[in-house]
Amino acid sequence: MTDAAQESVRNPRRDWAWTRTDSPVGPLLLAATEQGLVQVGFHADERTVQRSLARLEGLFGTAPRAEIPHLTTAVAELAAYFSGEPTAFTVPLDWSLTSGFYARVLHTLAADVPYGSVVGYQDLADRVGEPGAARAVGAAMGSNPLPVVVPCHRVVASDGGIGGFSGGLETKRVLLALEGVLPAPLF
């Protein structure tokens, strides 16, 4: 059982809501609880949304509500980000879908790697006090439930490559170009 699933067993019912919003990297699925934004999902087509909603219903033990205010904040902040405004997200985050080492890595990433900068997998491992864990940092990036807001796209390979990305490499390139780290695509 995953840590998130174990948490849902301990706290079986939580209010939550969701929305889908358009972005330059395709539709995003956003989900929030009363604590904060809990998930950002890429490629939010109908099938992906239905699969994600079923998973979240299982984790939170209830059907979604119509609205949670954190969604409005998240949509507005993502719109500002995608319009090119350098921003630090202020929407509260619900970290309940991650724990342990992965949570430590994601918290460090969110706190220490600002807009327009990048960090290597090894450097991030060093920052969390686990110098031999560069590959585990990569796994943490792949499991990030809050991409863009918790900027896993800013983690790159030490050899100069952009590394992997759960939203796809083209999405990572677009996000890094938006932040001025890479040149904008010609077409």
Q: At 28, is the secondary structure helix, strand, or coil?
A: strand
Q: What angle do CA 45, 49, 50 make, to 5 degrees?
A: 120
CB 153 within 8 A of CB 139: no
Radius of gyration of the chain (CA): 16
Gap between the Cα atoms of 53 and 64, Å rounded: 8
Phi, psi of 53 (to 5 degrees): -65, -40
Q: In terms of C-beta density within 10 A (0-12 exposed, 13-18 middle, 19 or more buried), how is residue 101 classed? A: middle
Q: Is 152 a catalytic residue?
A: yes
Choose the catalytic residue: 152, 175, 176, 178: 152
Residues known to be catalytic: 152
